[in-house]
Amino acid sequence: MPRGDGRLSHDLNPGEKGPRDACGVFGVWAPGEEVSKLTYFGLYALQHRGQESAGIAVSNGSKILVFKDMGLVSQVFDETSLSSLQGHIAVGHTRYSTTGASVWENAQPTFRATGHGSIALGHNGNLVNAAELAAMVAELPGSRGPRHRVAATNDTDLVTALLAGQTDDDGTALTVEQAAARVLPRVRGAFSFVFMDEQTLYAARDPQGFRPLVLGRLERGWVVASETAALDIVGASFIREVEPGELIAIDESGLRSSRFADAKPRGCVFEYVYLARPDTTIAGRNVYLSRVEMGRRLAREAPAEADLVIATPESGTPAAIGYAEASGIPYGSGLVKNSYVGRTFIQPSQTIRQLGIRLKLNPLREVIRGKRLVVVDDSIVRGNTQRALVRMLREAGAAEVHVRISSPPIKWPCFFGIDFATRAELIANGLSVEQIGTSLGADSLAYISLEGMVEATTIAKPDLCRACFDGEYPVDLPDPQLLGKEVLEDSDRPGATGAGTAAVSDVDGVATLLSGPGAADALRRP
Ligand code: 5GP
Ligand code: MG
């Protein structure tokens, strides 16, 4: 909740990205299967959606156990912890966040006792009415007083508390399924929830379907997951998407579907650009094919005189392939990526920091020397990646560097689950494309058009959320102050970062020092 000391809460946590998540969720109902291992491999397939913390909750029908910790899926779990998680229902989560408020309490699945047992819940997305939900939690019976405070400071735990604490008029506790029918219509923003009580696995998706969520079938059970690629990895066959506005419940009497809201599809276009795995299909459209098509269209919209097309690995690769194909310029590898550089908890020394992205990308000098290059990447956020890359390619002997981006300039913050920079930090906010190109040191810079990107997805434009590109937010946003990411943070709670400069990891996983306010006033600032 906003603090009463008159200061905006984000001032205390500069640079801290807080509980805005682009996460991965996974759930399985499968008697007779090792559900904790299936969930582990499902999360492994979704690791790209969140590298900060990982967790699995398992129910054996009478008790739920939760195991979660900071780190990658492979760092959090081992044979011992997985074999201690015995049961037939599981829910798993990988979380994207940054250091600071990335405390254990905010790791997921979140867990609560209910009037009938307990609930464990994982969330992908970001809610925009957290303040309202916090007020609803405060109204729950027995929730007054500091002892009943919600320990976590994320929007997700509010929903868990609400699902756990509903009662009917005479004070009898509702079941989780009854509570979901009452609570879910009150939740605003982006949510793909996977949750369970002792007997039942649930999946719910917001009416806009901002984030993906799919249903799959095992020989002896059911799976829900953020992406179809996670179904493939555990050998589940794709059945269908969880519909926007739908609640699914799976238990021994089978699968039940109900609606808590009408569907108003506004799937996130950035899933097609960057977030999702290329081998995933969302709303019937494969992500890889979308990216290649974005590259083809980019080549037609923004041709370049060049000798070689190279990708910014890995996420720029499909678009670079499409660009090369449509332009007739050969495609080659100009950069080698170290695939083992994920989010590191080790702060780089000053010397390493200056080397920047070299930790991750190293140029192939023998390929680059003397060439006029087209460098394709999926997006520019702050511009750090392309600026470092252009310099690196020139040092490696490139004759010319033409940067081509397969999404339009990102000008607006995302309130639906992508932890972009604040509006002030977005390089495209306030600079023309030409000025950005100059700032990157490129010989030329061009972005694909909004129409080109949208058409490449084959999804109808009105059915996509493009807010980060065009500022058209599909749901009403509350007062910017109530959107602050530390809206639930308490200045004196343990783990809250003090004023000053906070260490965070940048989008490329290399820790950097950043200062500046959070996104709380992002829409107001120039
Ligand atoms: P920039 O360096 O311009 O700040 O960020 C652009 C780079 O970050 C691109 O190479 C793009 O692939 C990557 N990127 C874009 N969005 C995200 C995101 O939400 N998370 C992470 N980790 N990387 C991103
Ligand atoms: Mg990239």
Tokens at residue 182, please? 């009452």
**Is the Cα dihedral 34, 40, 42, 44 positive or negative?**
negative
- The response to whether residue 52 sits with its C-beta less than 6 Å from ligand 1 reads no
What per-residue confidence (pLDDT) applies to 2?
Answer: 29
502 is catalytic: no
418 lines ligand 1 (CB under 6 A): yes
Q: Identify the residue whose tokens are 């699945």.
A: 109
Between CA 438 and CA 217 the distance in angstroms is: 51
| Identified catalytic residue from 12, 23, 91, 163 | 23
Residues 215, 222: Cα–Cα separation, whole Å: 7
Write down the pTM of the prediction: 0.87
Exposed/middle/buried for residue 508 (C-beta within 10 Å: 0-12, 13-18, 19+) = middle
- As given in the structure block, the two tokens for residue 487 are 């809206």
Q: Diameter of the chain by CA atoms?
A: 79
- Scored b (16 or more CB within 10 A) or e, 413-424 reads bbbbbbbbbbbe
Model pLDDT, residue 467: 96
CA of 275 to the centre of ligand 1 (A): 9
Q: Tell me the domains of the chain and their CATH numbers.
A: 24-127+160-266 (3.60.20.10), 286-463 (3.40.50.2020)
User: What is the number of the ligand closest to the CA of 426?
Assistant: 1
CA of 211 to the centre of ligand 2 (A): 20
List, in sequence order, every residue forming a beta bridge with 55; answer none if it has no partner: 68, 93
Q: Is 26 in the pocket of ligand 1 (CB under 6 A)?
A: no
pLDDT of residue 17: 36
Taking the CA of residue 380 as reference, the ligand 1 atom at the shortest distance is: 3
Q: Specify the ligand 1 atom closest to the Cα of 388.
A: 2
In whole angstroms, give the CA distance from residue 375 to residue 316: 9
Q: Is 289 in the pocket of ligand 1 (CB under 6 A)?
A: no
Residues 6+ apart with CB under 8 A from 479: none
Cα–Cα distance measured from residue 391 to residue 393, given in angstroms and rounded to the nearest whole number: 6
Q: Is the CB of 382 under 6 A from ligand 1?
A: yes
pLDDT by residue for the chain (526 residues), tens digit each?
A: 222 222 222 222 223 333 334 799 999 999 999 999 999 999 999 999 998 899 999 999 999 999 999 989 999 999 999 999 999 999 999 987 643 456 677 889 999 999 999 999 999 999 999 999 999 999 998 765 444 455 556 789 999 999 999 999 999 999 999 999 999 999 999 999 999 999 999 999 999 999 999 999 999 999 999 999 999 999 999 999 999 999 999 999 999 999 999 999 999 999 999 999 999 999 999 999 999 999 999 999 999 999 999 999 989 999 999 999 999 999 999 999 987 776 555 667 777 776 767 778 899 999 999 999 999 999 999 998 999 999 999 999 999 999 999 999 999 999 998 877 678 889 999 999 999 999 999 999 999 999 999 999 999 999 999 999 999 999 988 776 666 555 554 433 333 333 332 333 333 333 222 222 233 333 433 3
Q: How many residues in the chain?
A: 526
User: Residue whose CA is closest, atom 23 of ligand 1?
Assistant: 507
Question: What does the CA dihedral 217, 85, 100, 191 come to, rounded to 10 degrees?
Answer: 30
Q: How far apart are CA 310 and CA 319, in angstroms?
A: 10
Round to the nearest angstrom and report the end-to-end CA distance of the chain.
Answer: 26
